[in-house]
Structures are given as structure tokens and as C-alpha cells.
Amino acid sequence: MITTAPASGSGEFRFTDDDFRSLAQLAHAEFGLALAESKKPLVYSRIARRLRARNITDFTSYMALLKSPGEAEERLELISALTTNVTSFFREKHHFDTLRKELVPQFEKQPRVRIWSAGCSSGQEAFSIAMTLSDTLSETSLRNARILATDIDPAMIRKASAARYAREDLTTIPADMQKNGTRSCAEDPASFEIATPVQRMVTFGELNLIEAWPFKGPFDAIFCRNVAIYFDHQTQHRLWSRFTGLLRQGGLLFIGHSERVAGPALESLQSAGVTTYRKTVAPRPDPAR
């Protein structure tokens, strides 16, 4: 997830244990990130880029900058530097097969379909959901299907909203969905675009998952994959409970390949396949909310 880096002592900037702890506290309080001491050299390498970009010569001054009220954008640069935006169309394809087999037949009987891609990065996950629904749902059901896609990183939301990707990203989209769900890009032959009907199914927005959520659900499915991996256990448990509270009975939660649901949410979820959980009974209220 985080690339290799020079040892913090031998780098271009002084990076003390206190600097690391202060940065880790801020990243935890603002974004729920868990930065273990063992990550210090890796964090150094990521944050050194921000010091260079801002022409700052030491970490203590960078910490002071991060804490100033006018530096909300730099705090977002910090989370971008500490996490990765890696994603692809139909990543962990088995989840889209499960969506198709387990939920689509039920969707045909519902007045509306709502799915959330939480931590959507540059949008490939949300468009993969939209293409799967376009490929399987009747026209009437499709008209009532909406996908909400959120990420903390405004640069990713801008990229997702543009719905334009490099041609090599096409390779993981199944051929029939390439045909109906994408179009070539007249301005740039090295890129392709998502077809307008598929784009219209998705609404993108900025959202920090550890803050309040401005919607109530219920959702038929929530995809939150390869995001919670950055959070400490307590933050993860709370997130799983909050997602469970927003799922309808029988709805599915899809998580990343190296993640597991744990904590109180498990009382209301049962396994429904690889890194997939189905909501069974009403969850306990979250005492922290």
C-alpha cells in the first residue's frame, strides 16, 4: 500500500519520533487512519513530497501548517499521500457476479434500487456496478436504479465525474459491457468514456467516512472495498455497524479482499460469499452516534 522509503534518520528532512506521533494523531483524528510506528520510514517518504511541494524545510513546520484553519486542502493532500487510490474496473470480479446473481432478481420486484460505493476513488467501482445493472435489469427497473459514489479525495471525485479513462483500463471490462457501457473519446484516442446512460446512474460526492453521513438509506448494497484497511479496529467496527444500519434487510455489504467484518455488526450480518455479508436482523443502535 505504502511504497518503500529511506530510513527517516538518513533522509533529506529531520523526522523525529515526536513528529511521527503528532502526524499519526492528526491522521487518526481527522481520517481514522491507523499509522503504526513501524510505518515511520514509509510515512516519511510520502510526506517528504508534500514538504518539497510546499517549500517547507522541516516536519515541525509542516505539522503547524496542517493544523492551521486555512489549510483544509493540505489536510486532504495528507490523506492522499498516506493512502492509495489504486482501483480498476471489475476489481474483485466475484462481487459483481454476486450482485448479478443474488440481488438483481430481487431488484426487478422493487420500486427503487440504491447502491453505495463508499471510498470510490476515481469511479471505476461505481461504473462497474452501473454497467452490471445496465446489462441485467429491465428498462423500467433501470430507470429507478441509482448509485451513490463517495470519496474523501476531491481530486478523485473530479476524475470520477469526468468519466474518462485510459484505453488500457478497458481490458478488465467484459466485452459486452464495453460495447454498451463505453464509447470512444473523440478528443483523445488514448482514452475512452463511460456511455451517457451509465454515467447518469451514478452521483459522485465528497465524503469523509468517519464523519456524519448526510443520507439515511436504506441501501440494497454497499461496496466499501480496500478503504477500511487504513483504519484502526475501533474505527472499522464502528464503520461496519454504521453500514449495517443503512442496509435494508437482505442487503449485501462487499468489502476488500484483505478486510474482515468484526465487532457488533456481526450480530446482524451473515457471510454471503467471499468478503460478502448479508444483513439479517435489525442491528443494535450505535451508542457512539
Ligand X SMILES: C[S@@+](CC[C@H](N)C(=O)[O-])C[C@H]1O[C@@H](n2cnc3c(N)ncnc32)[C@H](O)[C@@H]1O
Question: Does the annotation list 151 as a binding residue?
Answer: yes
Q: Which of 15, 44, 107, 230 binds ligand X (CB under 6 A)?
A: 230
Stretch that binds ligand X, among 18-26, 76-84, 135-143, 269-277 (CB under 6 A): 76-84
Q: Establish if 85 lies at the interface with ligand X (CB under 6 A).
A: yes
Residue with Cβ nearer ligand X (13 or 213)? 213
Distance CA 191, CA 185 (A): 6
Q: Distance of alpha carbon 41 from its chain centroid, rounded?
A: 25
Q: Establish if 134 lies at the interface with ligand X (CB under 6 A).
A: no
Q: Establish if 84 lies at the interface with ligand X (CB under 6 A).
A: yes
Q: Which of 39, 78, 119, 239 binds ligand X (CB under 6 A)?
A: 119
Site mask for ligand X (CB under 6 A), range 143-182, x = bound: --------xxx--x--------------------------
Rounded least distance, CB 120 to ligand X, Å: 6
Contact criterion met (CB below 8 Å) for 37 and 82: no
The answer to whether residue 151 is catalytic is yes
Rounded least distance, CB 57 to ligand X, Å: 28
Q: Which residues pair with 219 in a beta bridge?
A: 247
Distance CA 246, CA 220 (A): 9
Contact criterion met (CB below 8 Å) for 194 and 182: yes
Report which residue's Cβ sits closest to ligand X.
Answer: 87
Q: Establish if 104 lies at the interface with ligand X (CB under 6 A).
A: no
Rounded least distance, CB 209 to ligand X, Å: 4
Residue with Cβ nearer ligand X (208 or 280)? 208
Of 151, 220, 238, 242, catalytic: 151
Q: Which of 26, 34, 210, 266 binds ligand X (CB under 6 A)?
A: 210
Q: Distance of alpha carbon 259 from its chain centroid, rounded?
A: 13
Of 46, 164, 167, 248, catalytic: 46
Residue with Cβ nearer ligand X (85 or 161)? 85
Residue with Cβ nearer ligand X (39 or 225)? 225
Q: Establish if 225 lies at the interface with ligand X (CB under 6 A).
A: yes
Binding residues for S-adenosyl-L-methionine: 85, 87, 91, 125, 151, 208-209, 225-226
Site of interaction with ligand X (CB under 6 A): 31-32, 79, 83-87, 91, 119-121, 125, 151-153, 156, 208-210, 225-227, 230, 256
Q: Which residues are catalytic?
A: 46, 151
